[in-house]
Structure formats: C-alpha cells, structure tokens
C-alpha cells in the first residue's frame, strides 16, 4: 500500500458502483455444495485477477464489472472457490447485461493439515534477465504433512484489460443486510505464510535492490543499500529490564481484503490469546487500528493500547472488509493513527504487524506518510513486520521489505498453499519456508520478546 503504483490487474471491490447498467456486466447467482447446501464465504472472481466478492450465508453473490475494461477480450472466466471444495470455473461473454451463474462445488478428497514447505529453488524472470538463475529452474518443495492441493493452477498472467473492473457489496435482491454481512469465524491455523529477515540475508537483499532499480520497483523515494543503510539487527537494541511488550496491529479493512479478512481476524484472535496464555508473566499491551480510504465509512478506527485481550479480540471481530475503490488505500492515515497511539516510553519490546494487500495512496498535502512512520518507528524502537496479503505487487513488496529492514522487523507474506483467497504473487526471495501464519507470528513475537528483555528461555508452545 505505498505510493501510487498502477496495478495492472483488476481490483474488484465491495462497494456500490455508479456505472450505468448498459455499460456493465452483472454476474450473480448462488454457490452450493454438490448436495445443494449453500456455501457461505466462498470467493467468486474473474480468473486472472486478484479481486473478488464473497458469498453471504445463503451462498448468494453479486459481481458488477464495468465493460470499459473489455475492449480486448471476448469472454471472461468466472471462478468460485471455497475451503474444503474443489474450485469451479465457467465462461461468460464479455458484453453488457445481466448473467445468472450458479456453481456446485465438489468436496475435496484430502483435508489440509499441518504444512511445512521448504522452497530451495524459486527464481524470477528478473533473475534470468540479469544472467542469474534460470527462470525455468524447478522449485523443490518438501512436504511434511498431507496437503489438499486440488485447487486449480493459479493464473500466471494478469488481466490488464479489466484494470477498471469493480464489484459491489450488494447481494441479489438489493444491498446486503446486516445479517448477510456478519463476518465468518473460521478456525485458526488455516492461512499459510513465510517470514524473511533481509538483514540476515544482505547479499540476496542487495541483489533484490539491484533488480528493483532496473525494474522501477521503488517509486517511494526510499534510499536503501549500503552504505546508505545499515540494517537494524535484533541484537542492536537494548534489553528491557522488565518483561513487557507493546503489540500493535494495523489492518487494511477495504473491500479487496474481503477474500482473507475473516481468516486474518481468526488468526489474530488466536495469536492474542496464545501469546497471553504461554507468556503469563509478560505485561502485554495491545492496540489495533483499521484503515480504509477517503470517502469510505471511516478512514481509521482505533483501539488504544489495552491490557485486555478480550477487548482486543472484540474490537478485531467488529470490523468487516468494505470500501476502497482503487488499488492504493489511505495507509498513511493508518500509519499516523497507529504511531500516535501511546507506545511505551521505556525500552520494552515494541512490534507492529501491518496486514495489507495494497500500497498507500499518495494524497497531495498529506503531512504524515510512510516516510515519517519509518523514521518514528526506527527512532522509538518499534519493529515493523509487514504481512503481505493477496494482491501485493513488486513495488509494494519493495516498500514492505524496506519498512521491515529499516526498523528491525521482518517481512511476512501469505502464500497460496492454504488455498484461501486470491493468488499471492511469488516474492523475490529464495530459500523461505512455508508454515501456518498463527504459529509463525506467535513464534516471532516470543522470540522478539526474548531477544529484547532479560534472559529467559522460550519454551515450546504446545
């Protein structure tokens, strides 16, 4: 979500479109299991795009797509997917009008359990063009559990012709009711992710910075790379004499996060409870800030620091994904609201997890931006851990990794291994390990606390 970068893929957003009926295609219908039971929380999207809408508790969906993006295509492929079911795709003509499209999803034969994937050979076209690793080199993966991988191959090509397409949040028969928009509460431990510390892999990060310069991935005005930047390492911060932690969560709550929001909320609630449980003597303060964009129901919504895990869990549950409009969102206002919370003044560990799928909107005259947030975080010992959701492109990856390395944090990114949400672009990183997001974040929090407080062994969280 940083600086204006035009995303070539469509952003299908949960907001009411103002496009006239004759200039748009409206796709609506119901998603059911193969035995006829409606599926709530299924994602329906145009194949080759990052956005989509989710079905309500009756399995209904409504997708509104302006046809000014159809100049170069004759048809569209609409895909429906849901956890525990095989995805289904159907084609429709790319012309104005209304289309009723129902889906019957077959149950997957294998259940997703624990996932540990070690990638040892990922490569990018940028590497190949620079004389690096062959872009056709296979990716070696080691699976240490049974994994349901019945979902169809993720499309490698985006759909630039649909860059302006939108979707509204209304259901068949009119706007969504409060009941139809109640957030789903899936079990935690579903989302998969990986974490990467560029400060510990500086040679690889330097090569990434070289590719960023060649491919214009840094529109943010950030000066990185030695000798301009020395990464902040964990052992560079003083240890706190008391066992305490300030833990902030800054979350993009716009419509494009709808494919993963309910799962992220479930994971965050699980993380808060688990950290409190396994660290009973740790003085934990929690703050949560949701942000959207100008013109939405709110720009920022904040929970000040509290020691009540119940209050934090309740606040996290209170917000659904909605609004937005274009790719960037007002992350800068979210960063300002979060940095203005009353962080501890002493040397206790302070971590900020930023969960987002797009860069910040660059509004004219905005005094506080990611520049000031990075400076404030670095100066006050707040380590930023960006968590990249589906839709993050290379410029946004550059920004998120810069925020982490400049503040002593790490870069976290969701992966396609869970089958949840839309496609996640492969990061420009080699050698990462995929695991469950909640396990990853609990471990990172506990390790960070152990590295910045008086010595205490970190027991396994069983």
Lowest mean pLDDT among 50-64, 291-305, 372-386: 50-64
Cis ω for the linkage preceding 227 (within 30 of 0): yes
pLDDT recorded at residue 403: 96
Radius of gyration over alpha carbons of the chain, in Å? 22
Closest CA to 195 of 388, 41, 37: 388
pLDDT recorded at residue 133: 35
Higher per-residue pLDDT: 456 or 219: 219
The CA distance from 65 to 78, in Å, is 12
Domain extents for the chain? 21-112, 192-452
Closest CA to 405 of 122, 210, 121, 209: 209
Closest CA to 290 of 359, 383, 382, 355: 355
Higher per-residue pLDDT: 259 or 360: 360
Higher per-residue pLDDT: 241 or 144: 241
pLDDT recorded at residue 9: 35
Closest CA to 209 of 342, 31, 402: 402
Bridge partners (DSSP) listed for residue 63? 27
Strand boundaries in 197-264, DSSP class E: 244-252
Burial pattern 236-246, b for ≥16 Cβ within 10 A else e, equals ebeebeebbbb
Q: Look at the block and give the residue holding tokens 């329906």.
A: 44
CATH superfamily of 21-112: Carboxypeptidase-like, regulatory domain (2.60.40.1120)
Mean of pLDDT values over 186-202:
90
Residue 13 has pLDDT above 50, yes or no: no
Residues 324-381: pLDDT tens digits?
Answer: 666 788 899 999 999 999 998 876 799 999 999 889 988 888 899 999 999 999 988 9
pLDDT recorded at residue 350: 95
Question: No. of H helices and E strands in the chain?
Answer: 8, 17
pLDDT recorded at residue 21: 44
For residue 281, name the pLDDT band (cuts at 50, 70, 90): confident
Instruction: Compute the CA torsion angle 198, 149, 136, 120 (nearest 10 deg).
Output: 40
Residues 403-425: pLDDT tens digits?
Answer: 999 999 999 999 988 888 778 88
Please state, for a pLDDT cut of 70, what percent of the chain lies above it: 67
Evaluate whether 288 touches 302 at the Cβ level (below 8 Å).
Answer: yes
The CA distance from 119 to 422, in Å, is 21
Residue 254 has pLDDT above 50, yes or no: yes
CATH superfamily of 192-452: von Willebrand factor, type A domain (3.40.50.410)
Lowest mean pLDDT among 77-91, 103-117, 216-230: 103-117
For residue 439, name the pLDDT band (cuts at 50, 70, 90): very high
DSSP code for 191: -
Q: Global pTM?
A: 0.61
Residue 255 has pLDDT above 80, yes or no: no
pLDDT recorded at residue 215: 92
For the chain, the average pLDDT equals 73
Burial pattern 81-95, b for ≥16 Cβ within 10 A else e, equals bbbebbbbebebebe
pLDDT recorded at residue 404: 96
């Amino acid at each position: 979500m940083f600086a204006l970068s035009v995303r070539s893929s469509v952003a299908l957003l949960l907001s009411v479109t103002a496009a006239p009926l004759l200039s748009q295609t409206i796709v609506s219908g119901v998603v059911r299991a193969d035995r006829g039971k409606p599926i709530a929380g299924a994602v329906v999207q145009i194949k080759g795009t990052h956005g989509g809408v989710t079905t309500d508790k009756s399995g209904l969906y409504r997708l509104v797509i302006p046809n000014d993006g159809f100049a170069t295509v004759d048809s569209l492929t609409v895909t429906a997917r849901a956890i525990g079911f095989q995805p289904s795709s159907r084609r429709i003509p790319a012309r104005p009008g209304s289309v009723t499209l129902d889906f019957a999803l077959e149950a997957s034969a294998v259940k997703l359990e624990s996932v540990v994937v070690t990638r040892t050979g990922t490569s990018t076209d940028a590497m190949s063009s620079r004389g690096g690793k062959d872009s056709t080199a296979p990716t070696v993966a080691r699976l240490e559990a049974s994994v349901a991988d019945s979902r169809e191959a993720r499309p490698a090509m985006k759909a630039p012709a649909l860059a302006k397409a939108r979707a509204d949040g209304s259901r068949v028969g009119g706007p969504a009711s409060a009941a139809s928009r109640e957030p789903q509460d899936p079990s935690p431990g579903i989302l998969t992710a990986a974490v990467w510390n560029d400060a510990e892999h500086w040679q690889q990060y330097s090569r990434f910075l070289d590719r960023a310069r060649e491919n214009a991935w840094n529109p943010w005005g950030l000066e990185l790379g030695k000798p301009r930047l020395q990464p902040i390492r964990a052992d560079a911060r003083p240890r706190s004499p008391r066992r305490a932690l300030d833990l902030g969560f800054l979350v993009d709550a716009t419509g494009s996060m709808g494919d993963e929001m309910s799962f992220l909320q479930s994971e965050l609630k699980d993380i808060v409870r688990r950290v409190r449980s396994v660290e009973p003597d740790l003085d934990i303060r929690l703050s949560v800030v949701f942000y959207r964009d100008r013109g939405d129901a709110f720009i920022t919504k904040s929970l000040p620091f509290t020691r009540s895990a119940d209050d934090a869990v309740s606040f996290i549950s209170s917000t659904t994904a909605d609004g937005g409009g274009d790719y960037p969102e007002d992350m800068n206002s979210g960063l300002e609201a979060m940095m203005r919370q009353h962080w501890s003044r002493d040397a206790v560990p302070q971590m900020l997890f930023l969960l987002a799928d797009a860069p910040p909107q660059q509004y004219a005259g905005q005094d506080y931006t990611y520049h000031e947030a990075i400076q404030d975080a670095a100066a006050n010992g707040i380590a930023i851990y960006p968590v990249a959701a589906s839709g993050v492109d290379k410029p946004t990856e550059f920004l998120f990794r810069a925020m982490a390395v400049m503040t002593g944090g790490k870069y976290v990114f969701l992966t396609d291994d869970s089958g949840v949400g839309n496609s996640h672009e492969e990061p420009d990183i080699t050698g990462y390990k995929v695991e469950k997001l909640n396990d990853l974040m609990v471990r990172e929090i506990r390790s960070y606390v152990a590295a910045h407080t008086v010595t205490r062994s970190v027991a396994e969280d069983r």
